[in-house]
Amino acid sequence: MPVPERPEVPDVEIRASVKARELRFRARPEVRTHAETEPSGEHASGSDRTNLPAQVAAGVTYHDIQLDFRIAARLTDPDLSSPHAGERHAEAPEPG
């Protein structure tokens, strides 16, 4: 699954890249990602790989690998995505 292009302007984004001359797995890894946006929103995750298959095999040595990963989320509720969402404002004292 390639690195997602959407959401284009996320509220939260995490990117990671790794390069290695040699990489060998003793056991096939279990990899999971999970993203949620509540109450509504869009999210996506994915990776671009060079010289590394989507499903790696145990005991195989991979050479000159690169892995680029992105997970991103954007809120779509206009009340929650305003620039002042989550801010607390002091209430003005009542006159009197």
Residues in a beta bridge with 49: 67
For residue 7, pLDDT beyond 70: yes
pLDDT grade for 83, boundaries at 50, 70 and 90? low
Q: Could you give the CA distance from residue 16 to residue 69 in angstroms, rounded to a whole number?
A: 5
- Kindly compute the dihedral angle of the four CA atoms of residues 51, 56, 59, 61, in this order, to the nearest 10 degrees: 10
When comparing pLDDT for 42 and 79, which is higher?
42
Which pTM value belongs to this model? 0.67
Contacting residues for 9 by C-beta, under 8 A, at least 6 apart: 74
Q: What is the model's pLDDT at position 88? A: 47
Q: Could you give the CA distance from residue 59 to residue 57 in angstroms, rounded to a whole number?
A: 6
pLDDT in tens, 25-40: 999 998 888 777 777 8
- Contact present, 71 and 33 (Cβ < 8 Å): yes
pLDDT grade for 94, boundaries at 50, 70 and 90? low
Alpha carbon 4 to chain centroid, angstroms: 9
Most confident listed range (42-51, 56-65, 68-77): 56-65
Query: What would the two tokens of residue 66 be?
Result: 């690169």
- Calculate mean pLDDT across residues 51-58: 93
